[in-house]
Amino acid sequence: WKTLDDMDLNGKRVLTRVDINVPVENGEVTDATRIERVGPTVQDILSRGGKPVLLAHFGRPKGKVVPEMSLKMLVPALEAAFGTKVHFTTLDEAEAVIDACDPGQVVLLENTRFEPGEEKNDSALAKTYAALGDVYCNDAFSAAHRAHASTEGLAHLLPSCAGRLMQAELEALDAALGQPKRPVLAVVGGAKVSTKLELLGNLVEKVDILVIGGGMANTFLAAQGVDVGKSLCEHEMTGTAKEIAEKAATTGCEILLPRDVVVAREFRENAPSEVVPAESCPADAMILDAGPESVAHVEQAIDRAETLIWNGPLGAFEIAPFDKATNAAAAHAAKATANGKLVSVAGGGDTVAALNKAGAAEDFTYISTAGGAFLEWMEGKVLPGVAALG
């Protein structure tokens, strides 16, 4: 694929697909990482005399106009990050707003997912977008696993290229994980097995050690006949968890599950808690974190590994004290990386938030802005948004 370096942008309207699907609470952006990381692309287009016209989605409004999901609320954060005026417009009025936009300024189109054709990759909608620009630049690696009109269809209608963040993501992931140094350790956590099922099935073929943590570990414990009390557990997935464990045995992938766990009767900050063996969760309690023995086990795995891929926290990291295992393992991985002993790559909103909270993100080799796209890339899947760039 081409990059911005290959394109003539002078005086051109550059339709730029970005992913600014950021966490927002009460109208305030709580983590601007995704916005900041598209800054270099916007600056580059501006410095080459182009007019950036940003296309982006927010949330999952499913083809309907949902006022709380309007991108208008992100204008102040974009202006702060880009240091220039950002003109917001709906698709209907876009042509006039783009024409009136002065050089050095940016246009932001309304949430692409308000359009019923967006997620259907509707060709008429892609043509409507294409009529608003001269060049297409895709900088949304984290949305590249979606074949939507603004991420895929549009790429076929205009001279297209990858933006700086897209380039950086693909280059960094390829450098760290394309031909990884072994042993490769994957830490996969988070709430549900069902959302990462395919990933786990594929990962046991690719990695040497797989740490399963967070809520999804409970489903694997239940598959071994362990009573997990009131813990989050997808009981209907235990058969699949068993199959994944059996597959791992045939591929030589070592699966590590928690040995001891932190249990509590309530899910709230500083709820009274205790450490028990993983197979001894009281019937009226829930597992909310991995215990110290499990953490030591994960740390030993980190010491054995040359490459670490991390997606998903090991416990309910949002509330203390159930962030301990995630914090400890993150700090351990950060130290190993800083000492030059480990290549570490992490992706996914919760993971990045957990690593930031643990103060570990800075030392990681690479932090991806992508969640789902990072996982699909790791599985070796073709990402439609990347493939469409040729």
Residues in touch with ligand 3PG (CB under 6 A): 19, 21, 60, 142-143, 146, 371-372
For the chain, strand residue ranges (E) read: 13-17, 24-25, 28-29, 51-55, 86-89, 106-109, 135-138, 160-162, 184-188, 209-212, 254-256, 260-264, 273-277, 286-290, 307-311, 343-346, 366-367
CB nearer ligand 3PG, residue 60 or residue 127 = 60
Active site residue 315: no
- Look up residue 171 and give its two tokens: 């280059």
For 64-93, letters b (16+ CB in 10 Å) and e give eeeeebbbebbbebbeebbeeebbbbebee
Tally Cβ neighbours within 10 Å of residue 271: 15
Shortest Å, Cβ 327 to ligand 3PG = 24
* Annotated active-site residue in 34, 37, 51, 324: 34
Closest CA to 307 of 186, 135, 162, 140: 186
Active site residue 34: yes
Shortest Å, Cβ 143 to ligand 3PG = 5
Type of residue found at 173: L
CB nearer ligand 3PG, residue 117 or residue 371 = 371
Q: Is 304 annotated as a binding residue?
A: no
Do 158 and 180 touch, CB atoms closer than 8 A? no
Active site residue 163: no
Residue nearest to ligand 3PG (CB): 21
* Annotated active-site residue in 2, 120, 192, 335: 192
Active site residue 164: no
Q: Is 20 annotated as a binding residue?
A: yes
Shortest Å, Cβ 182 to ligand 3PG = 29
Phi first, then psi, for residue 351 (nearest 5°) are -65, -45
Q: Is 58 annotated as a binding residue?
A: yes
Closest CA to 291 of 318, 235, 329: 329
CB nearer ligand 3PG, residue 74 or residue 288 = 74
Q: Is 119 annotated as a binding residue?
A: no
Q: Is 145 annotated as a binding residue?
A: no
Instruction: Tell me which residues are annotated as active site.
Output: 34, 192, 349, 372
Binding-site annotation: residue ranges for substrate: 19-21, 34, 57-60, 113, 146
Binding-site annotation: residue ranges: 19-21, 34, 57-60, 113, 146, 196, 318, 348-351
